[in-house]
Amino acid sequence: MVDLNALARANADRWSRAKPTRKAEAANVAARLHKARHRYQAVGRETGVPWPAIAVIHERESSQDWRASLAQGDSWNRVSVHVPAGRGPFESWEAAAIDALAECPPFLARHKDWSIAAALTALETYNGIGYAARGVPSPYLWSGTNQYRAGKYVRDGVYDPSKVDSQLGCAALMIALMELDPEIGFAATKSAKSPTAGDPARPSLTNPSKGSIGAFVINLVRAILGRK
């Protein structure tokens, strides 16, 4: 069984050392994702998942194809056949995306901690923890950075250690998005020990890190409600 706390610590360490290896390509994709941020933000308002996380999942699952579901890349206007199977049909890409985040494992809409370590680990679990079980960096996250060289599941249960993932990973795309838009931010992990539930210092949607997307949303809501 994969220790998710250990995985979060490993991902935080990799993030601290990550350098883009396909920077120009990542910048181009990030610009395309950023241009559509209003659609990701609409889904984020319904699910609580930060829009950059939704955007990078969309790129990984379907190269930002608006005809494809966020869940697995199947057409959202038909019943899905790939895992998660049996979802849909839906009325729109947004409706399918909300379903993928709220109703399908690993249920990202239930996540409260969107610090960088937690965000990266949530994204990794969205794809599966087969790489973590092998103790290797997931290309779903790290392709396009110096934290990944080779190794890929070419189909379910079949791992090829020499296969190189040609897609950019979520971390590479998040780095590019953060360089493009200074309002995007994820809190850094301050120590190797993961914060515990109930810890007032623990970043969450109700106690967001300064400068984070969560902080922006909370401040906006408080301004609307007239709270101090």
Q: Is 152 helix (H, G, I), strand (E, B) or coil?
A: strand
Specify the pLDDT at position 82: 93
pLDDT in tens, 122-146: 999 999 999 999 999 999 999 999 9
Between 223 and 170, whose confidence is greater? 170
E-only strand ranges, the chain: 152-155, 158-160
Specify the pLDDT at position 43: 98
Tokens of 50: 């930060």
Specify the pLDDT at position 187: 58
- For residue 104, the 8-state DSSP code is S
pLDDT in tens, 76-86: 999 999 999 99
189-215 burial, b at 16+ Cβ within 10 Å, e below that, comes to: beeeebbeeeeeebbbbeebbeebbbb
pLDDT in tens, 174-192: 999 999 999 997 754 333 3
Tokens of 226: 């007239």
Q: Where are the domains of the chain?
A: 4-180
* pLDDT exceeds 60 at position 216: no
Sign of the CA dihedral running 175, 220, 32, 168 = positive
Indicate the burial class of 80 (C-beta count within 10 angstroms; 0-12, 13-18, 19 or more): buried
8 residue type, one letter: A
* pLDDT exceeds 80 at position 70: yes
> How many whole angstroms separate alpha carbon 76 and alpha carbon 95?
9
Ramachandran quadrant class, 226 (left: phi over 0; alpha: psi -120 to 50; beta: rest): left
pLDDT in tens, 101-126: 999 999 999 999 999 999 999 999 99
Specify the pLDDT at position 156: 83
Strand partners, 152: 160
Query: What's the N-to-C CA distance of the chain in angstroms?
Result: 45
How many other β-carbons are positioned within 10 Å of the β-carbon of residue 135?
A: 9
